[in-house]
């Protein structure tokens, strides 16, 4: 139950901080998306793991995977924004139905192994 409360608090904290960062409804560049996500994650001490642009039901959207916290308390987030602009959606990867959600923890684990080997 506590994990669910923590996830909801994290999602709400990020969503509340995004009000001024999301551009009006217009085409958003990849650089703008990275800037928006970076500013949002800075507010909660998170880091972007990777980003991509995917097709969802004929619509293109940017997706970023992020991590907040460390070790056992690390949580993974997905931040999505339609390329045509709109609302930035923030959700925990564990609750997301987005196919990218499963990649975030695996990618972070791979990066941990690479860093340990370096």
For 23-59, what is each residue's pLDDT tens digit? 456 788 999 999 999 998 998 899 999 999 999 888 8
Confidence of residue 1 (pLDDT cuts 50, 70, 90): very low
Q: If you count them, how many residues does the chain have?
A: 118
The pLDDT, as a whole number, for residue 24 is 56
This prediction has a pTM of: 0.74
* Domains in the chain: boundaries: 2-117
């Amino acid at each position: 139950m506590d994990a669910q409360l923590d996830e909801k608090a994290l999602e709400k904290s990020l969503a509340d901080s995004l009000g001024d960062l999301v551009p009006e409804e217009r085409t958003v560049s990849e650089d703008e998306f990275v800037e928006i996500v970076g500013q949002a994650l800075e507010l909660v001490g998170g880091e972007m793991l990777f980003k991509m642009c995917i097709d969802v039901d004929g619509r293109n959207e940017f997706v970023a995977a992020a991590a907040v916290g460390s070790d056992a308390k690390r949580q993974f987030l997905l931040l999505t924004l339609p390329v045509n602009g709109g609302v930035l959606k923030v959700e925990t990867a564990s609750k997301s139905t987005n196919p990218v959600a499963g990649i975030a923890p695996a990618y972070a684990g791979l990066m941990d192994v690479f860093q340990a080997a370096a």
